[in-house]
């Protein structure tokens, strides 16, 4: 796969995220994916610019149903940050990004139960990342490795920090107990990086 992926400015990324055709064009070459027809389940639950995503920046992804905008931000993050960080900190290639889903027709979870509001997962505007695998066989899990004093923990902290460049809202185990085992990366939001 070629890496003709130049850093999109925030403005361009925002525009590509809101327009399906520009998003598909930007994602082409940056990811392996199959385009699907848009899906509407209910008013609250739908996927616009629907795809099955299989890899970003040569890092394998277990086939994931999501929307193009989510995949594009993930691809930018993987290409511009995760791959270089893997080299610098882990001294090996990033091989796989382990996710625990994107689309999920559900309401928001809070520490006190369920909120009235719909989750951004109901429109596939978020993806949950549980860990990473590397070419040398190393496997990192947020639940196990986040709090350690290891290169792997440094990789995870740097991954979280750099995710905030590409996703308007990024939540990590540092946010609350609901996120102890994953990063919640969201297309929409107001610069929350925790
Ligand atoms: Zn989430």
Question: How remote is the CA of residue 102 from the centroid of ligand 1, in Å?
Answer: 7
Question: How remote is the CA of residue 190 from the centroid of ligand 1, in Å?
Answer: 16
Q: What is the pLDDT of residue 6?
A: 66
pLDDT digits (tens, 9 = 90+) for 15-47: 887 899 999 999 998 999 999 999 999 999 999
pTM of the full structure: 0.93
Q: What is the pLDDT of residue 2?
A: 39
Break the chain into its structural domains and give their ranges.
10-105+117-193
Whose CA is closest to 152, among 98, 100, 85, 97?
85
Two structure tokens written together for 135: 């070419």
Report the alpha-carbon distance of residue 141 to residue 1 in Å, rounded: 27
Question: How remote is the CA of residue 171 from the centroid of ligand 1, in Å?
Answer: 8
Question: How remote is the CA of residue 194 from the centroid of ligand 1, in Å?
Answer: 13
Q: What is the pLDDT of residue 69?
A: 96
CA-to-CA separations, 57 to 106, 114, 128, in angstroms, rounded: 30, 35, 18
Question: How remote is the CA of residue 178 from the centroid of ligand 1, in Å?
Answer: 9
Ion ligand 1: residues, CB within 5 A, are 126, 128, 184
**Rg, Å, the chain Cα set:** 16
User: Do 173 and 161 form a contact (C-beta atoms < 8 A)?
Assistant: no
Residue by residue, pLDDT tens for the chain (194 residues) are 334 456 677 777 888 878 999 999 999 989 999 999 999 999 999 999 999 999 999 999 999 999 999 999 999 999 999 999 999 999 999 999 999 999 999 999 888 887 889 999 999 999 999 999 999 999 999 999 999 999 999 999 999 999 999 999 999 999 999 999 999 999 998 889 99
Question: How remote is the CA of residue 137 from the centroid of ligand 1, in Å?
Answer: 26
Question: How remote is the CA of residue 109 from the centroid of ligand 1, in Å?
Answer: 9
- Length of the chain counted residue by residue: 194
Question: How remote is the CA of residue 120 from the centroid of ligand 1, in Å?
Answer: 8
Report the alpha-carbon distance of residue 185 to residue 193 in Å, rounded: 10
Q: What is the pLDDT of residue 7?
A: 66
pLDDT digits (tens, 9 = 90+) for 141-164: 999 999 999 999 999 999 999 999
């Amino acid at each position: 796969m070629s890496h003709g992926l130049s850093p999109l400015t925030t403005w361009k990324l925002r525009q590509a995220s809101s327009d399906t055709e520009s998003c598909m064009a930007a994602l082409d070459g940056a990811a392996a994916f199959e385009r699907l027809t848009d899906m509407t389940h209910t008013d609250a639950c739908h996927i616009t610019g629907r795809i099955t995503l299989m890899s970003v920046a040569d890092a394998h992804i277990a086939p994931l149903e999501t929307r193009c905008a989510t995949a594009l931000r993930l691809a930018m993050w993987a290409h511009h940050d995760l791959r270089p960080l893997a080299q610098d900190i882990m001294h090996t290639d990033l091989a796989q990004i382990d996710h625990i889903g994107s689309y999920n027709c559900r309401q928001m979870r809070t520490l006190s139960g369920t909120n009235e509001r719909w989750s951004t997962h109901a429109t596939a505007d978020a993806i949950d990342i549980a860990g990473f695998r590397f070419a040398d066989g190393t496997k990192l899990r947020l639940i196990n490795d986040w709090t350690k004093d290891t290169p792997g923990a440094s990789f995870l902290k740097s991954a979280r920090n750099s995710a905030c460049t590409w996703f308007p809202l990024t939540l990590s185990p540092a946010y609350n107990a609901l996120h102890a085992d994953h990063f919640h990366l969201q297309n929409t939001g107001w610069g929350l990086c925790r």
